[in-house]
């Protein structure tokens, strides 16, 4: 194994020439030029250390190299971080921490609201969305959910109600995004949607940054048309996240503006970051690589057509 500090993209793909596999994370870019270079250099497998694959051109990969991922490492890690963002933002513990360390015990500006009895809207009821919904149900919230593939039995178990996205955004005090980013749902939360949300509502995004039109979000926050935003992901995060820029000037004016708002809490794509999740990511990635090179198997392959782990390798066809 050889570790490179450079991010994978068309500028750096040449570094992988002569190897059999590349191992990539969320902000590496596996677009068509990168995939063509990797394939020309002999790479046969791209092993993603993450669940999302929006950064991979799966169509370009088809017939050139296989793409495997870690479909589930710890959905609890991500769901619990979404809740951490919500609780901090609502009860302003991050502000209180800074104040009390400075000997300032004033309560001014620290008013939150009870979650109990309020309505939570969960967009995407896959593994993470279902756990988040369960936690919020435990707080005594009414839970609205939306997903193109509803799971009625699960919803009944926590008395969640599937509704159209319009109703979810209009009726929720807290909205949390847990769907994958696809070309169809880019800027799912845009100016039109934000204009329907409750003025005190809090939006949490641990999904992918581009699910939200950030400029429209900033406008809504500036005009006090929504109450706050807890963001673990940002649509242009690959320029900044995972690196220390504290001594540099942030040239992304949208990110810089976002960071100035008192009712915004940004974390740098750390929702997955628990001991359990890291162990599971490492284990599954090694298994994925071993399965392919030792046994010719692709247990966690992602197919460009169905966008899911499929039986393509085993059956020779998934469609």
User: Which residues here bind ligand NAI, judged by CB under 6 A?
Assistant: 51-52, 72, 75, 78, 123-129, 146-149, 178-181, 185, 206-208, 232-233, 269, 271-272
251 is catalytic: no
CA-wise closest residue to 132 among 93, 160, 153: 160
Q: Are 180 and 54 in contact (CB under 8 A)?
A: yes
Locate 221 and state its tokens. Answer: 């926050």
Q: Please say which residue, 146 or 284, places its beta carbon nearer to ligand NAI.
A: 146
Catalytic residue among 49, 66, 130, 269: 269
* Catalytic residue, candidates 208, 235, 301, 312: 208
Q: How far is the CB of 194 from ligand NAI (least distance, A)?
A: 16
At closest approach, how far in Å is the CB of 192 from ligand NAI? 15
Catalytic, 224? Answer no
Pick between residue 22 and residue 78 the one whose CB is nearest to ligand NAI: 78
- Please state, in angstroms and as integers, the Cα–Cα distance from residue 261 to each residue in 62, 87, 89, 229, 230, following that order: 43, 17, 12, 10, 11
Give all strands (DSSP E) within the chain, no chain letters.
Answer: 21-24, 45-48, 66-68, 119-123, 142-146, 161-162, 174-177, 202-205, 228-231, 264-266
For residue 283, indicate whether it is catalytic: no
**What tokens appear for 98 in the block?**
């800074």
If you write DSSP's letter for every residue of 199-215 in order, what string do you get? Answer: TT-EEEE-S-GGGB-HH
Instruction: Provide, rounded to whole angstroms, the least separation between the CB of residue 159 and ligand NAI.
Output: 19
Nearer to ligand NAI, 240 or 272 (CB): 272
Nearer to ligand NAI, 53 or 292 (CB): 53
Report whether 185 contacts 211 (CB < 8 A): yes
Q: Which residue is nearest to ligand NAI (CB)?
A: 126
Residues catalogued as catalytic:
208, 237, 269
């Amino acid at each position: 194994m050889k570790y490179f500090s450079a991010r994978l993209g068309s500028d750096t793909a040449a570094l992988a020439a002569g190897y059999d596999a590349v191992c990539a994370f969320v902000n590496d870019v596996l677009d068509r030029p990168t995939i063509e270079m990797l394939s020309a250099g002999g790479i046969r497998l791209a092993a993603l250390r993450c669940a999302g694959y929006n950064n991979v051109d799966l169509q370009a990969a088809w017939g050139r190299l296989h793409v495997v991922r870690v479909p589930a490492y710890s959905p609890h890690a991500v769901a619990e971080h979404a809740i951490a963002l919500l609780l901090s933002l609502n009860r302003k513990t991050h502000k209180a921490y800074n104040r009390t360390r400075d000997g300032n015990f004033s309560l001014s500006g620290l008013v939150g609201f009870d979650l109990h009895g309020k309505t939570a809207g969960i967009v995407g009821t896959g593994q993470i969305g279902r756990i988040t919904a369960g936690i919020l149900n435990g707080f005594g919230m009414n839970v609205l959910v939306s997903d193109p593939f509803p799971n009625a039995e699960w919803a009944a178990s926590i008395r969640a109600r599937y509704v159209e996205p319009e109703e979810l955004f209009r009726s929720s005090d807290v909205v949390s995004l847990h769907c994958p980013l696809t070309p169809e749902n880019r800027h799912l939360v845009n100016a039109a949607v934000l204009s329907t949300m409750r003025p005190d509502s809090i939006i949490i995004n641990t999904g992918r940054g581009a699910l939200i039109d950030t400029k429209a979000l900033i406008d809504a926050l500036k005009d006090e048309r929504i109450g706050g935003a807890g963001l673990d992901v940002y649509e242009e995060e690959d320029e900044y996240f995972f690196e220390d820029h504290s001594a540099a000037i942030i040239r992304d004016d949208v990110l810089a503006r976002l960071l100035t708002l008192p009712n915004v809490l940004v974390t740098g794509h750390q929702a997955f970051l628990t001991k359990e999740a890291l162990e599971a990511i490492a284990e599954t990635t090694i298994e994925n690589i071993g399965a392919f090179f030792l046994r010719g198997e692709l247990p966690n392959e992602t197919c460009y057509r169905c966008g899911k782990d499929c039986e393509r390798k085993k059956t020779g066809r998934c469609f």
